[in-house]
Structure 1
Amino acid sequence: MTPKSASVPSRRSFLASTAIAAAAVAGGTPLLTACGGGSSGSTNKGGTTSGKDAKKLLPTFVAQNVVTPDIPSKNGSSLGFTQPLNMAELKASVPTPLGKGGTVKVMAPFWGSPPKSQNPYYTAMNKAIGADIVFQNQDGNTYDQKLGAVLASSEIPDMVVIPNWNMGGKIPSAVISKFADLGPYLAGDKVKEYPNLAAIPTDAWQRSLFGGKLLGIPMPAAWVPNIVPFYRKDVFDKEGYQLPTSADAFLALAKDITNAKAKRWACDDMKWTAFNIFGVLSGQEKPLGWNMTDGKLVYRIETDAYLEALEWTRKLYAAGVVHPDAKAGKTQGDPALRFTSGETLIYNQDISHWYAKTAEQAAQKTGVVIWGMDIFGHDGGDPALWAGSPANIWSFISKKASEAVVRDALAAANVTAAPYGTKEYMLTNYGEEGVHYTVENGLPVKNDKGNNEVINAYVMLDGPPPTIAHPDLPEIAKAQVEWQQRMGAFTKKSSFYGLQIVEPARYTNLANDFEQLEDDVVRGRKKISDVQQAVSDWRAGGGDKLREWYRKLLDDNAPQG
């Protein structure tokens, strides 16, 4: 018996059902060396920590062997589980609670209505941790506002969860000044006291270095591409459509599929896929958009690939093969609904949709078959893909916290980081059997109490290495992991991959207008020449100065000898 589904580690998967965010599921392996990077930085100047300096701060990686995955990680893929687990024989990754019996006040984002603090799930979790975790939940939709106010005050909770999407403005500086150095507890072999934290890939810990210190407890995340071009395999098979292997072939196929009178269009907006097939540097976060190429440090918007991707996407719109609601704007309808209803046959989304939409359609018995096509190179050759971030959510501990509180907080993270297939994983994600879930057809399914209590709280503290497990749809788990492995073979890490970089505040909003400009260009409201002019303005307005700043980070941390 086994959980109905699991996509780990990104807790955004728990938010996907609320339409707040989609899960990013992928695998990770230890970072051997921090190639490139910068100086240790400071609160005012920003920067990063890498190379020899980082090695002194990073926890020793020790893989967990409590549960063996059915599909090992390869090329950065997730761990894959396709076989049922015997829940009566689940092993414990935390045989004895590590908490010291104190109280830890935690502020974290929450989507929906938080349960009452005194409930069976919280009681069971605190017993497993060995400490009393008290949540001060805040609305996830306005979390950045609350976060800024709290960090600017003198009253900071013992533990604060900060997602990467809230790591803007003055927040990184506040992180450096307000939170505790965890090096004395976790650096090197010290982490072995917390085995599940020791099993977190080194890449993720590297992302947790702020201002020259190990400040964050990372939740590991995908670094292989997570945007999949999905297609309606049932229709493709019926109509005899062949999967495209080049940009031109995609456009030709799209024209063949589209029949506006029959209310069928080939695709939804494909800009994200365009960036991948044309090899554009990652836009997930600013540092990943920089790369040393032919001796010059370039930003993604300066590349020919960026312009070519936008031009190709513009051609799709101009040819009338994109659903008209997509052309009208992002908020015009639901792309996934257009796809499953047959109004479009291709759309791109986070890899988590592969399972979510397949399960949805299976429950409705629609006969819809959702599959992911491989990303191809625009010219028909191999794709040139770029790695994303290996961690996107952190738990921080207040600098004012006592050693006992720090250790209780680490004990909590160690439980929630338990690998898939352990007792602690089941407790964290499903609660207690008979209380929060029942076993149906060999699979545990949450009841109303489970759906009301086992949500959004403890799962935000930390998670295990990236894992995909869908025992009810094992063929989807297998397909997801194998897609990641194939795409991972073509994925490279740019110059600042895996580094926590705090840009100087004066550059924070420098490139903010480009996303809207991209959307205007592909829809025909602006021209490619407008992008070229915007790039020139970006360079003159600070882009070239920012380049110098990043180049200094590389030079200061270049390998010696």
Structure 2
Amino acid sequence: MTPNASSASSAPSRRSFLASSAVAAAAVAGGMPLLAACGDSGSGSGEGTTSGKDAKKILPAYVASNVVVPDIPAKNGSAIGFTSKLDLATLKTSVPKKLGKGSKVTIMSPFWGSPPKSDNAYYKGMNDLIGVDVVWQNQDGNTYEQKLGAVLASSDVPDVVVVPGWNMNGKIPTAIISKFADLGPYLSGDAVKDYPNLAAIPTESWQRSIFGGKLRGLPMPAPWAPSIVPLYRQDIFDKEGYEIPTSCDEFMALAKDITNAKAKRWACLDMKWTAWQAFGVFSGSEKPLGWNMVDGKLVYRIETEEYLEALEWSRKLFEAGVVHPDSKMGKNAPDAGPKFAAGEFLIYPNNISQWWSRTAEQAVQNPDFKIWGMDVWGHDGGDPTIYAEQPAGIFAFVNKKASEAVIRDVLAVANVTAAPYGTKEYMMTNYGVEGTHYTVKDGVPTKTDQGNIDVMNAYVMVASPAATLAHPDFPEVAKGQVEWQQRMGAFTKKSSFWGMQITEPSRYTNLSNDMEQMEDDVVRGRKKISDMQQWISDWKSKGGDKLRDWYKQILDENGSAAN
């Protein structure tokens, strides 16, 4: 469910895109895979990973929840889906008794928007439900990494700190290992059964929560099926008789047919993210996912022919004049929604959460508006090869100085926030207090003005249920989203380091800093493919080849997740 989700935008970089999507992701009860460039190991330096037999000793037992049965079960890495209206009278109870023992727990978390007053009815209601006195230290999500670095470098660390994967840079991964508690004694194996909603979190999401050889994170699960969808104006397609393309050549022909610059209509925004999928390029959403074994050699995504072919095709779209001028100027982010609604462009790739958010935005003032998701095509007209995304990307950590009482009360919080859709605990976590924060009419919950102030991205950041898509206001969108994930998931492969939480050595941290800028320069015609080839050659000599050897050692020691 996406209560009051802030819409993601077609931003010019992966990191800014992911950060702008964070609220929407959190609100979708499991949300989306997010950038996580760093992680764990059993070594003192924090480099490497923990998997295989070592991980199995650490991981919680998986016990599926039977409290609520989804309308559409997960398949091929998809979220679970709910397409029925909401009936408050039939909501289930997943936490029959308070597990909290009344500890005061301080939680620092990123927050987008204006934080509510600390004594608001939502915080009071959640704390009463859990039996814990949670005190929020909300920090500006846009500058969170700097705040995080400063706090983790100090001796004054809150009881719980939320760390999104895209903020795991610099010294933060090392600090995670040195500052935060091992939750294994409370959650590994059958111990997790004391917290049934945590036991129902998928094992692969817990695997991602191992840092420094210990289970330290409480995860926000995500689908590993693709999250980037080529979104399009189905209403205009139907009216004009446009057909969904099944190859890159067909897309180009369609784009030329749609575009009429004099009439202020272009086919699309920058299609680079879809090009990665169409040409079968290894995932760029996280550094380790970009590596994969090819014909017995470990290869990085930028070294492949498919990578250059995807850039070249994306460049040709700009060259043909079918891309909206805003994309060329890097102005995608602020104007994507209104200009898409106005029909200035008909196609753009973005996070699946926008399928719902754009629908909700236009429902009243533009009833004919219909956004839908295209199936990704193989560049040559065959089936695509898409690479899986990580099954968790935001984590909550507990201060290693916390007492057992505080740790257990944090787990009591997480056991409520991880309650599945269709339960009283889920409604409280995501919507607040009925009557005060939301009302329900015809099975559709709607936030009140107070709900839009109080019930924002706080408790949802602690832990979440298995990735879920449910939009009682637009059930056809939830159905469309889950079925799209399932169809695309059938063409999705797991690359060699999928599911692992990996920390690269700090000496390689800045190795790829200029890569996205080079990509954009090539796609927009400011640089040539040969310039990118030279950049790749320099990347190898500056450390890329040595980084390959480092990753290969991890692979030799831990085995591959590829299938």
- TM-score if structure 1 supplies the norm length? 0.94
Helix, strand or coil at the partner of 2:337: helix
How do 1:509-548 and structure 2 match up within 5 A?
A: 509-548=510-549
Cα gap change, 1:210 to 1:163, in 2 (>3 Å): same
Deviations 1:298-338 (A, max 9, x none): 00010111000000000000011111121111457512322
Partner of 1:385: 386
Q: Matched residues in 2 for 1:514 and 1:148: separation?
A: 25
Note if contact 2:85-2:442 (Cα within 8 Å) is conserved in structure 1. Answer: no
Look up the equivalent residue of 2:278 and give its one-letter code: I
Partner of 1:369: 370
Q: Matched residues in 2 for 1:374 and 1:134: separation?
A: 44
Report the alpha carbon displacement of residue 214 of structure 1 after superposing the two structures with TM: 0.6
Deviations 1:328-377 (A, max 9, x none): 11457512322211111111111111111112221213411111110010
Report the alpha carbon displacement of residue 38 of structure 1 after superposing the two structures with TM: 12
Deviations 1:213-270 (A, max 9, x none): 1111111012111111111111111211111100111111111111111111111111
Note if contact 1:39-1:557 (Cα within 8 Å) is conserved in structure 2. Answer: no
Partner of 1:125: 126
Q: Matched residues in 1 for 2:346 and 2:133: separation?
A: 50
Partner of 2:76: 75
Q: Give me the identity figure in percent.
A: 69
Note if contact 1:257-1:265 (Cα within 8 Å) is conserved in structure 2. Answer: yes
Q: How many residues align?
A: 543
Partner of 1:219: 220
Partner of 1:463: 464
Partner of 1:450: 451
Note if contact 1:38-1:552 (Cα within 8 Å) is conserved in structure 2. Answer: no
Partner of 2:139: 138
How do 1:131-530 and structure 2 match up within 5 A?
A: 131-330=132-331, 333-530=334-531
Helix, strand or coil at the partner of 1:433: coil
Look up the equivalent residue of 1:278 and give its one-letter code: F
Note if contact 1:38-1:49 (Cα within 8 Å) is conserved in structure 2. Answer: no
Look up the equivalent residue of 2:226 and give its one-letter code: P
Q: Matched residues in 2 for 1:373 and 1:338: separation?
A: 19
Partner of 1:84: 85
Q: Matched residues in 2 for 1:241 and 1:484: separation?
A: 23
Note if contact 1:208-1:217 (Cα within 8 Å) is conserved in structure 2. Answer: yes
Q: Matched residues in 2 for 1:184 and 1:98: separation?
A: 17
Helix, strand or coil at the partner of 1:444: strand
Q: Matched residues in 2 for 1:93 and 1:379: separation?
A: 48
Cα gap change, 1:330 to 1:283, in 2 (>3 Å): farther
Q: Matched residues in 2 for 1:513 and 1:243: separation?
A: 34
Cα gap change, 1:292 to 1:447, in 2 (>3 Å): same
Report the alpha carbon displacement of residue 142 of structure 1 after superposing the two structures with TM: 0.9
Look up the equivalent residue of 2:160 and give its one-letter code: M
Structure 2 unaligned blocks of 5 or more? 10-16, 32-37
Deviations 1:414-470 (A, max 9, x none): 100100010000001111112212223332222122111111111111111111111
Deviations 1:522-560 (A, max 9, x none): 10000000110011000000000000000000111249x
Q: Matched residues in 1 for 2:99 and 2:54: separation?
A: 30
Note if contact 1:43-1:177 (Cα within 8 Å) is conserved in structure 2. Answer: no
Partner of 1:33: none
How do 1:56-75 and structure 2 match up within 5 A?
A: 56-75=57-76
Q: Matched residues in 2 for 1:66 and 1:509: separation?
A: 46
Cα gap change, 1:87 to 1:332, in 2 (>3 Å): closer
Note if contact 2:39-2:501 (Cα within 8 Å) is conserved in structure 1. Answer: no
Q: Matched residues in 2 for 1:95 and 1:416: separation?
A: 14
Look up the equivalent residue of 2:499 and give its one-letter code: G
RMSD: 2.0
Report the alpha carbon displacement of residue 27 of structure 1 after superposing the two structures with TM: 8.2
Helix, strand or coil at the partner of 2:50: coil
- TM-score if structure 2 supplies the norm length? 0.93
